[in-house]
């Protein structure tokens, strides 16, 4: 009998060129050990990392995503891209939770070019976490099809979240603790429920209807939602001209 193959996690690392990438380089030159399965994507600033990049990485079977930026308040750009990355990663983790993915699969750290040792340590710790979680979807009980569906639905929400970020989540804190506190607060929970969680169901329904027209009961069964909740979403989408009811087939279809 063939021996079970050892799980080798795939981790995508989005690293800022001006700091964390230098840290990775220094770790290599100094021969600090870190896992070979980190696939590095070098960016000019951690603020360039988009929610969509992360979901795309997971859709391409990354088991974990690591974002490395300059220390807070030391970003090389006046836009303070690393604060943007921190805010985006908080929102992303919450969204991952909502679609059934373990949020521990995403990590963000701030590392200077002189911290090769620290870079290796943080990547090793993250790699161990991902190793413990196993292949993406497995720990979460999502088969390949469900994982793909949930990631597609989450990606559909990205433009909506970008608008919200500008209007509702644009907090101007100076420290990581303040960000962690706000994004861990009940206030953020409420905002997230009202503005994003509601939209996710609408995006999931649209994805199902892209396949074929469906009655309310089938949509509810596919999404594990009460039929009354699905009716509410369908009524709203119908008022917005996104779906329509076909009385002949007694089904909803995309408008």
DSSP label of 58 = H
The interface region with ligand FES, picked from 27-35, 43-51, 111-119, 202-210 by CB under 6 A, is 43-51
Give the span between the Cα atoms of 207 and 202, in whole angstroms: 9
The residue from 47, 64, 116, 137 that contacts ligand FES (CB under 6 A) is 47
Strand partners, 69: 110
Closest approach of ligand FES to the CB of residue 43, in Å: 8
- Of the two residues 48 and 56, which places its CB atom closer to ligand FES in the complex? 48
CA 81/CA 49 separation, integer angstroms: 9
Among 9, 12, 15, 18, binds ligand FES (CB under 6 A): 18
Nearer to ligand FES, 90 or 233 (CB): 90
- What residues have CB less than 8 Å from 159, skipping those under 6 apart? none
Q: Indicate if the alpha-carbon torsion angle 113, 114, 120, 126 is positive or negative.
A: negative
Beta carbons within 8 Å of 141's beta carbon, 6+ residues apart: 100
**Between 82 and 89, CB nearer to ligand FES:** 82
| Total chain residues near ligand FES (CB under 6 A) | 13
For 174, phi and psi rounded to 5 degrees?
Answer: -105, -15
Q: Nearer Cβ to ligand FES, position 16 or 92?
A: 16
Burial of 167 (0-12, 13-18, 19+ CB in 10 A): exposed
Site for ligand FES in 52-91 (CB under 6 A): 69-70, 75-77, 81-82
Minimum CB–partner distance for residue 28 and ligand FES (Å): 19
Q: Distance between CA 22 and CA 113 in Å, rounded?
A: 4
CA distance 88 to 106: 11
CB of 67: closest distance to ligand FES in angstroms? 9
We find the least distance from the C-beta atom of residue 129 to ligand FES, in angstroms, to be 23
Identity of the residue, 18 or 192, whose beta carbon is nearer to ligand FES in the bound complex: 18
Q: Does 45 contact ligand FES by CB under 6 A?
A: yes
3-state secondary structure of 109: strand
Segment near ligand FES (CB under 6 A), from 16-24, 131-139, 167-175, 226-234? 16-24
Question: Of 23 and 137, which has the nearer Cβ to ligand FES?
Answer: 23
Q: State the Cα–Cα distance between residues 134 and 125, nearest whole angstrom.
A: 15
Report the interface residues with ligand FES, using CB under 6 A. Answer: 16, 18-19, 45-47, 69-70, 75-77, 81-82
């Amino acid at each position: 009998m063939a021996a079970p193959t050892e799980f080798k996690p795939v981790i995508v690392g989005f690293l800022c060129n001006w700091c964390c990438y230098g840290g990775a380089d220094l770790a290599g030159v100094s021969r600090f050990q870190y896992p070979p399965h980190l696939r590095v994507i070098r960016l000019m600033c951690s603020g360039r990392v988009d929610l969509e990049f992360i979901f795309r990485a997971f859709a391409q079977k990354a088991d974990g995503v690591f974002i490395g930026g300059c220390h807070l308040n030391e970003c090389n750009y006046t836009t303070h891209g690393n604060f943007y990355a921190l805010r985006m990663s908080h929102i992303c983790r919450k969204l991952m939770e909502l679609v059934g993915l373990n949020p521990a699969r995403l990590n963000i750290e701030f590392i200077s070019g002189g911290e090769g040792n620290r870079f290796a340590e943080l990547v090793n710790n993250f790699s161990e976490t991902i190793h413990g979680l196993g292949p993406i979807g497995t720990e979460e009980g999502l088969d390949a099809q469900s994982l793909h569906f949930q990631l597609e639905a989450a990606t559909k929400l990205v433009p909506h979240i970008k608008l919200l970020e500008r209007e509702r989540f644009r907090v101007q804190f100076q420290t990581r603790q303040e960000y962690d506190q706000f994004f861990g607060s009940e206030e953020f929970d409420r905002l997230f429920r009202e503005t994003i969680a509601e939209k996710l169901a609408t995006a999931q329904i649209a994805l199902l209807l892209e396949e074929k027209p469906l009655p309310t009961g089938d949509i509810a069964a596919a999404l594990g939602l009460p039929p009354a909740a699905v009716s509410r979403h369908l009524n709203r989408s119908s008022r917005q001209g996104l779906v329509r009811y076909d009385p002949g087939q007694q089904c909803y279809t995309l408008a």
